[in-house]
């Protein structure tokens, strides 16, 4: 089972765990995500029934080796071509490309 994480939720969860590119949510989501972040796995699974995206994003951030990376992808914080995290990005948040990747490639290979 995989729950897709909205970009906004990903950014809020990144902020909750202190990662670069995160955005501070409003008070309600701040308290909700804080609660989820402190919930033991069994409790987190219960919350997942009601808050599937939030609970899955928190679970990824806490337990998945590549969870933060995938949240950054969902948040539009990585280049979809080279995986670069530096930005600035063109086409964010849906199709983010770093500036070198967004530059049109000359067909004859000569710049
Ligand atoms: Zn790139």
Model pLDDT, residue 109 = 62
Model pLDDT, residue 12 = 97
Cα 62 off chain centre by: 13
- Between the CA of 97 and the centroid of ligand 1 the distance, in Å, is 5
3-state SS class at 73: helix
- Between the CA of 56 and the centroid of ligand 1 the distance, in Å, is 27
- Between the CA of 87 and the centroid of ligand 1 the distance, in Å, is 8
Model pLDDT, residue 64 = 96
Cα 79 off chain centre by: 12
- Between the CA of 98 and the centroid of ligand 1 the distance, in Å, is 4
3-state SS class at 90: strand
Model pLDDT, residue 74 = 92
Model pLDDT, residue 85 = 87
pLDDT in tens, the chain (111 residues): 468 899 999 999 999 999 988 999 999 999 999 999 999 999 999 999 999 999 999 999 999 999 999 999 999 899 989 988 887 888 766 788 998 898 877 777 655
- Between the CA of 8 and the centroid of ligand 1 the distance, in Å, is 22
Model pLDDT, residue 111 = 54
């Amino acid at each position: 089972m995989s729950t897709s994480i909205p970009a906004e939720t990903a950014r809020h969860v990144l902020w909750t765990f202190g990662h670069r590119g995160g955005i501070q949510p409003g008070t309600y989501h701040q308290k909700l995500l804080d609660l989820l972040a402190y919930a033991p796995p069994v409790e987190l699974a219960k919350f997942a029934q009601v808050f599937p995206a939030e609970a899955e994003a928190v679970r990824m951030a806490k337990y998945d080796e590549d969870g933060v990376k995938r949240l950054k992808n969902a948040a539009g914080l990585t280049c979809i071509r080279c995986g670069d995290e530096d930005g600035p990005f063109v086409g964010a948040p849906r199709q983010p490309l770093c500036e070198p990747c967004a530059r049109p490639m000359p067909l004859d290979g000569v710049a």
